[in-house]
Amino acid sequence: MNVTELARQLRINTVELLDILPQYGFDIGRKAIKIDDVTAEQVIRRWKYIKRELEQKKKQELEEKKLKEKELRKELGQNVSLPEKSTVREFSEKLNMTVTQIITELMKNGILANQNQNLDFDTMSIMAEDLGFTVHKEDGNIEDEKKEEERVQSLEEALAKAKNLQPRPPVIVVMGHVDHGKTKLLDTIRQANIIDTEAGGITQHIGAYQTIWKDPKNKSERALTFIDTPGHEAFTMMRSRGAKVADIAILIVAADDGVKPQTEEAISIIKAAKLPFVVAINKIDKESADVEKTKNDLSQKGVLAEEWGGNIPMVEISAKQNLNIDKLLDVLLLVADMNAEKIQADPDLKAVGTVVESNIDKGMGPVATLLIQSGTLHKGDKLVIDNEIYGKVRAMKNYKGELVNEAGPSFPVQIIGFKIAPEVGDVLDINKESTATEINLRKKKSEQTGAERTIITDTSKDEDEKKKTLNIVVKADVLGSLEAIISSFEKIRHDEVGVKIIGKGLGNITEDDVKKATTSGATVIGFNVNATPLAGSMMREENVQFLEYDIIYDLIDWVKEELGRLLSDEKIITELGNMKVVAIFRKEKGAMIVGGKIESGKVTKTCLARVKHEKLDMGNGKITECRLGQSIAKEVHEGMECGVRFEGKTKIEVDDVLEFYTEETKAREIQFL
């Protein structure tokens, strides 16, 4: 085999392959052109292990390089001045780093952002310091700062108008490192220790939960509101706008994994916002769990447990085994009681709230989930954001998916009626309706061109009946890969078939992803990511197809092949010619022998024929025999007289025209734009 052919199969540069092979016992020479088939087969078999080891080495070298760069920046005392708000691209230019590097760092800290998305000063400051920079705050544009101050001040004034203060449910955000059990904890809270209601007490419907906790001691009932993903991201955005969405935070840390980079980021965010918080030490049921080590790691980050002389409540739980969840909820309510003076609102005011989730639904258009912070939002109210009218409340749904006419403080509600989707973190303030102006849709759409792309096929019944869809749940390791995959799917344009993204995101496949796939019959795709053990077990039990890829072209090829299977076969009709019937020689059951002259083209044995009577289509049949005089012919050409045997139910008459043609069936292929 040629070495170049082997390199092509392994998808690697030939020179690189010749450099790598000697390191693994395949000493074929640095200038080799050929490689014997036995050795080539051994290389192919071992390549996936070699590739994995090379990737690990590359990753380790990259981490070491980053660490050296960080130390060098600290030694040189590199400074960076950051504004109050900046896009990811502008932030990368400030640090003299690539956009990809910044997006990767954001992903490590649990923030999903593209190059045009805004970051606040606190987030940029934490990242820059983590990279070894000394951070200073820019004076910034005076007009922009003044505008921001006026906006924050008006929000504070709206909240300060409260006269009829009443206790409201505490809003809780769960934060922590990837795979430490945030989703599992929320799922367990939803299922356990909740008042029995038709909807199960808590329903994930609009990115926020609300549950009623029943105290077993005094049998009192208390409501708690939980913000789900993108909870911490939304919270970061909100902080820059002078409004806190959450009243309390849960910092979840896995007892078998300890403090990780995103844990540190979460601690920084919580402290910057001065939020009271509770630490949930999860996965204590695992053999490798070390609670004391976890507490020690947290203490080194300035989070000291109450039993160690600190002021942070820590609860040891197992979300998987439903262990101590009731204790965690009790502690959360205790923390809420200790901060009761802050967890109040006036329901009689006009609504003030914050966007915690925003997207475009093919059926409903732009929709957003808001958390009302003060006042009450009513159906028909104008949607005022940044002193612009984004639309009017046409309908509202609560966390159970039920239609409601009003939403009070701490109430998560999905709103239908936006002309354009607002951004996560935007503040809704109905008090400004009198001075607000209609939104400039063209300008706003152009500002949002960097928004995350989504693929949504039409959900209407009529369209669904016409169009077959390939349902997919896709997870990737980095945003760049995910955007490339989604972008490739967007290039598919076909009237009969399409791709429908049921779920997407970063990180390993979780139980929530499997649930989405199960309910929609979707295939789960992991791009450079694996499934958690529980998710893997669920997929085997539910018989959910799970595919892993590390090359985007292989994934796209699979999608094209699957969509091709959904397509009906293409019929290719080739017109051959026609003949005018001048005589009927014989009539048989289901067949006729007729004669005539080929006026154009030709007739062939086994071709198909249409019968035309005065240009009207009378029916179709098949030619099974052609004769020139007494001789059987395979085909007869233009200008010649012949007889043909026509098989079909249609009755042929003199002066009818037979149009001859062939028909092929061919599997169609999906084309990408």
Q: CA 546, 548, 552, 555 torsion: positive or negative?
A: negative
For the stretch 323-343, pLDDT in tens is 999 899 999 999 999 999 888
Average pLDDT in the chain: 80
Backbone angles phi, psi at 515, to 5 degrees: -60, -45
pLDDT over 60 (residue 152): no
Give the model's pLDDT for residue 218.
Answer: 58
Q: How would residue 422 be classed by pLDDT, with cut points 50, 70 and 90? A: confident
Strand partners, 628: 631
Domain spanning 158-345: CATH 3.40.50.1440? no
Strand partners, 332: none
Q: Would residue 40 be called left, alpha or beta, if left means φ above 0 and alpha means ψ between -120 and 50 degrees?
A: alpha
In angstroms, the CA 247 to CA 667 distance is 58
Structure tokens at 454: 């989504």
Q: Is the peptide bond before 230 cis (omega within 30 degrees of 0)?
A: yes
Q: How far is CA 139 from CA 91, 121, 370, 661, in A?
A: 16, 12, 32, 79
For the stretch 368-381, pLDDT in tens is 888 888 899 999 99
Backbone angles phi, psi at 176, to 5 degrees: 160, 180
Looking at the chain, the number of H-run helices and the number of E-run strands are: 18, 34
Q: How would residue 158 be classed by pLDDT, with cut points 50, 70 and 90? A: low
Domain spanning 570-666: CATH 3.40.50.620? no
Structure tokens at 187: 């799922």
pLDDT over 70 (residue 667): no
Where does 491-572 have alpha helices with state H? 511-520, 533-542, 552-566
Beta strands in 63-116 (DSSP E): 79-82, 85-87
For the stretch 547-571, pLDDT in tens is 998 877 788 888 888 887 887 667 7
Give the model's pLDDT for residue 264.
Answer: 84
The residue with greater pLDDT, 518 or 460, is 518
Strand partners, 135: 80
Closest CA to 659 of 587, 594, 572, 575: 575
The residue with greater pLDDT, 59 or 666, is 59
Kindly state the helix (H) or strand (E) to which residue 475 belongs, with its residue range.
strand 468-476
Query: To 5 degrees, how large is the angle CA 38–CA 40–CA 42?
Result: 70
| Tokens 């499997």 found at | 514
Percent of the chain with pLDDT over 70: 81
User: How many of the other CB atoms lie within 10 Å of CB of 666?
Assistant: 9
pLDDT over 70 (residue 527): yes
Closest CA to 117 of 132, 131, 99: 99
Buried b (16+ CB within 10 A) or exposed e, 458-491: eeeeeeeeebbbbbbbbbbbbbebbbbbbebbee
Where does 172-259 have alpha helices with state H? 182-191, 231-239
For the stretch 37-46, pLDDT in tens is 889 999 898 8
> What is 461-566's CATH superfamily?
Translation initiation factor IF- 2, domain 3 (3.40.50.10050)
Q: CA 406, 410, 414, 419 torsion: positive or negative?
A: positive
Give the model's pLDDT for residue 427.
Answer: 83
Question: What is 352-361+372-439's CATH number?
Answer: 2.40.30.10
Give the model's pLDDT for residue 479.
Answer: 55
In angstroms, the CA 320 to CA 95 distance is 42
| Tokens 């085909």 found at | 635
In angstroms, the CA 499 to CA 489 distance is 7
In angstroms, the CA 609 to CA 648 distance is 9
Q: How would residue 141 be classed by pLDDT, with cut points 50, 70 and 90? A: very low
Strand partners, 316: 281
In angstroms, the CA 523 to CA 562 distance is 11
Backbone angles phi, psi at 370, to 5 degrees: -115, 150
3-class DSSP state of 549:
strand
Contact 479, 85 (CB under 8 A): no
For the stretch 626-644, pLDDT in tens is 999 888 999 999 999 999 9
Structure tokens at 511: 């139980």
Between the two ends of the chain, the Cα-to-Cα distance in Å is 36
In angstroms, the CA 113 to CA 478 distance is 11
The residue with greater pLDDT, 425 or 531, is 531
Give the model's pLDDT for residue 216.
Answer: 58
